Each structure stands twice: as C-alpha cells, then as structure tokens.
Amino acid sequence: LVLTEFGAVFAARLGAGFRELSQAVALADEATQCTLVVSVAPAFASKWLLPRLSRHFDRHPNVLLRIDASVRLANLDHSDIDIAIRLGDGKWAGGRTELLLAQEVFPVCAPAIAQKLKSIEDLAQTCAITDERAMINWESWFETAGVPPVSFLKGARFTDPMLCLESAIAGHGVMLGWQLLAADALADGRLVAPFGIRAQSGLGYWLVTSSVKAESRKVRDFKVWIREEIEATMARFGSANPKPAGAIAVESAAPPLYGRSDIKLRQAGS
C-alpha cells in the first residue's frame, strides 16, 4: 500500500495534530494532578486551617489548593473532592476515615471574665454563649469536673461556632470551646481556659477520602502535613495556656456530649 502525495501530506499533518492533542491531554492531566480539593467546615477553615496554609504552599509549591468551605457531607466516591476534614463520630457513608484528633471541650472566655471566676460555681454569675447546632453540651463537662451544673445568666445563642468564639473574645460570656477552634486565641491571650478541665466529647476530627479511588501522592502529602500541624498546635496549645494554680486537672472520658444544651437559663438579677 503506497500513499499518494496528498495522502502523505494529510498523514503528516494528522500525526502532528494527534501529537498536539496528546500534549494538551497531558497538560490537562498535570493540572488536575496539581490541584488538591479539600472539603472543610467554614469554622475549621477560618480559625485553624487558613493561618497555616502558607507552610503547605512552601512545602508543595506545585500543588494548587482549592478549599471547599462547606458543612455539606459530600460523598467522596462521587465527587471531585480529594479529601475532607470533618468533625463527628467518623461514621459516614462513601469514604475511608482516619482519626485526626479526638475532640476535648472546655470553657473559654476573655481574660477580664476569667478574673471573676475563682471557682466553677462562679460560672453562675456569667452569661453562656451557646452554639445551637453543636453536638456538645455543658452537662457532661460539669460531670467531668465533678460539680453540679450551674444556672448561667441569659447569654447569646448563635448558629455558627465562629460567632460564638468572637462573642467570647469580645467578653460577652463563657463558651464551651475545643482545641482547634480556640487554640490560636488561647495562644495569643485573647481567650483563657480558666479551669484546666477538659472533657472528651466522643467526637473527633477525621480525615475522609474516597473508598473506591486510589489515593494520590498529593493526598498522602497533605495527610502528612496536616498531622504535623496538628501535633505542633497541640504542643503549643498545651504550653500556651497553663492551668491556673489550684485548678482541677481532669482529662477523663465522659459520656458523649451529643445533643443540644439543656442548661437552665435565668434573667440577670432574678
């Protein structure tokens, strides 16, 4: 079989076209491989992840991070999300889960409020800052502390943990915080944990990946990086807010803090 002159020219140009197409596909694949899509809750993204991202950029300059800041629980088996970080019990459909950090809860407040708290009973003279959507409550913290629950003054209720945190920083009252939400504010002194008592919530931060997709190198690298950041945060967390003299040092497992708070509220001065 011998090509005509036209056929030879056509074949040459067609071959060049296929080579260009192949190069374009390779470039597209490379761009996809260098983009890491991470799903996180907005509070986690804003209060903990964002201040640390520059170190990921420095370590992996060829990886473009796309942060999907949402509380939706996407099925990673049918999503473009590479990895998710979720707070909960680790039982979600459509994914492999790895515990990143067990959640511990404890009261936090502004320094001016903390100065008025000589004992746990003094919480009755403060306002409670409550996250209505949180799966934690005060009763189990009081049980861990070994004291009866107190009746707080009427405070503020929010539907977002970031607003609760900012309200506590502003000195509006006391909130039930946890490590990664409050760590930076504790480290720089905007908040203090006045009692040195932490209660296990039965929840935790989990890394979630697809149960059917092969784990890429960019995902493995991200896992290594975020575990190192968690360790660094917890080391700083442990030393940045020492327990006050005479504080009860309790770090024991308590019944899971599921459900909304049932704290009895009363009007100030009543």
**pLDDT for 97-143, tens place per residue?**
999 999 999 999 999 999 999 999 999 999 999 998 888 889 889 98
The owner of tokens 């490379």 is: 30
Exposed, middle or buried: residue 81 (CB in 10 Å: 0-12, 13-18, 19+)? buried
pTM for this structure?
0.74
Q: What is the pLDDT of residue 38?
A: 97
Mean pLDDT of 150-162: 92
Where are the chain's structural domains? 34-102+205-233, 103-202+244-252
141-159 b/e (C-beta count within 10 Å ≥ 16 → b): bbbbbebebbebbebeebe
Give 103-202+244-252's CATH code, choosing from 3.30.1360.120, 3.40.190.10, 3.40.50.2300, 3.40.640.10: 3.40.190.10
Q: What is the pLDDT of residue 228?
A: 97
Largest Cα separation within the chain, whole Å, is 103
Q: What is the dihedral of CA 195, 199, 201, 207, to 10 degrees?
A: 90
**DSSP code of 264?**
P
Residue type, 42: P
Q: Say if residue 49's pLDDT is above 70.
A: yes
Mean pLDDT of 187-208: 92
Q: Say if residue 189's pLDDT is above 60.
A: yes
Percent of the chain with pLDDT over 90: 57
Length of the chain: 270
* Fold match between domain 34-102+205-233 and domain 103-202+244-252: yes
Sign of CA dihedral 254, 200, 190, 172: negative
Looking at the chain, list the stretches that DSSP marks H as alpha helix, in order from N- to C-terminal side. Answer: 5-33, 42-44, 53-59, 111-114, 138-145, 161-169, 179-187, 217-240
Q: Say if residue 260's pLDDT is above 50.
A: no
Q: What is the pLDDT of residue 153?
A: 92
- Tell me which of 72-86, 159-173, 226-240 is least confident: 226-240
Sign of CA dihedral 256, 41, 207, 100: negative
Q: What is the pLDDT of residue 180?
A: 94
Mean pLDDT of 216-222: 96
Exposed, middle or buried: residue 270 (CB in 10 Å: 0-12, 13-18, 19+)? exposed
Residues 128, 152 contacting (CB under 8 angstroms):
yes
Residue 97: C-alpha distances to residues 79, 85, 254 (Å): 16, 9, 23
Q: Which range, 88-97, 115-124, 243-252, is most confident?
A: 115-124
> What is the CA angle 13-15-18, rounded to 5?
110
**CA 269 from centre of chain:** 37
Q: Identify the residue with better confidence: 93 or 99.
A: 99
Give 34-102+205-233's CATH code, choosing from 3.60.70.12, 3.40.190.10, 1.25.40.340, 3.40.640.10: 3.40.190.10
